[in-house]
Amino acid sequence: MKGFTAALLIWTLLSPRRAGGEAWPTHTACRNGNLQVLYQSCDPLQDFGFSVDQCSRQLKPNINVRFGMVLREDIEQLFLDVELFSKGLSILNFSYPICEVDLPKFSFCGRRKGEQIYYAGPLNNPGFEIPEGDYQVLLELYNQDHATVACANATVLYS
């Protein structure tokens, strides 16, 4: 059964986009009551899978996530840029090293082009309460050569 699930994930991630240059579909990362987190790949060549186990207004210091994709680039080093917008205005912008040469934080650090990344486990964050409102989040993973590994436009809706 695990082999079938892995094959389905790979087929989904590698299947060609629809004709006409349409955008990737919008996916739901999590939904719980009045909180909803949606995302869409902004990489024109590849979609990816992402989900959050607990969807809560109170973001806990350790949240469990799942992330899967096939690499189009080597990741000797991997960095995450996050920009948060509210009502069209940038309210937060930060960069975070995920894989460094001397400090790999995850088992997928050092993977090569063509290999699959699948991570299921905790992510450490400062923990905070999500205020009511609609937010847009731009996330970009890029490697040591500044090549995009994954890119997403996310929307957080909380009413």
Q: What is the CATH number of domain 2-158?
A: 2.60.40.770
End-to-end CA distance of the chain: 39
C-alpha count within 13 angstroms, C-beta hemisphere, residue 120: 2
For the chain, give every domain's residue range: 2-158
| Higher-pLDDT residue of 25, 18 | 25
C-alpha count within 13 angstroms, C-beta hemisphere, residue 148: 13
pLDDT tens-digit readout, 103-153: 777 888 999 999 999 989 988 877 778 889 999 999 999 999 999 999 999
Token output for 73: 């680039």
